[in-house]
Homo-oligomer: A and B are copies of this chain.
């Protein structure tokens, strides 16, 4: 590191943005808020905001913004740093560097849109990423990166279970993969593969009947975090 004494250190505004992904209505959705003031007034953007004070930790700022803007309990969610975006001009007001985080949330109890939070909405990422959809700042690119992160992590980690309720069936879990990857998986091979990964799932012993057909076993998340061998996507 060079010496700050040598010149004036330009100070920049530092923000934290959040890409909260969840599964809703059979599709991968992202939490967005509608902006109330310029720039990009009325447009959809990622929840986020500036550092509250010079001494606030980055991770802490992320969890704070998440609960402030969406009312979600960030402690219950897995939050991880995605990437930092800092192109000059990405915010028309001034130079803003934003450290982005991704979170993976189970189906939300629905207090989201129009709830206690300002104006948070869920939108399918497939719709967000369409060329014609307009999103504030460079947030569309950030969302694309977040989705790609989620897709990649399903391959070699047990992240998929983070999208499920505390107790879930094998089909619930398989649908996470199918929805996030946009690809059908063979239920039988999936079942065998997942049960073969030590520590991924813990059977509760309970069963549920949600459709006609044999009732499915219920599972809880196990301690494993990595998938070995990995679940591979079809080559594309």
Contacts and interface: CB of A to CB of B under 8 A. Distances in A.
Interface of A: 1-5, 9-15, 17, 35-37, 45-46, 48-58, 65, 69, 81, 83-84, 86-88, 93-95, 97, 99, 136-137, 228, 235
Instruction: Across the A-B interface, give the 4 residue pairs with the lowest CB-CB distance, nearest first.
Output: A11-B11, A2-B49, A58-B86, A10-B54
Nearest to A95: B54
Contact of A4 (B11, B12, B86, B93): B93
Chain A's interface: helix, strand, loop or mixed, by majority?
A: loop
Contacts of A12: 11-12, 14, 51, 54
A13 to B, nearest CB: 5
Given A88-B55, A95-B55, A48 B14 contact: no
A42 to B, nearest CB: 14
A16 B94 CA distance: 19
16 contacts: A1-B48, A1-B137, A4-B94, A9-B13, A10-B50, A11-B13, A11-B14, A11-B54, A12-B12, A55-B88, A56-B88, A57-B87, A57-B88, A58-B86, A58-B87, A84-B84
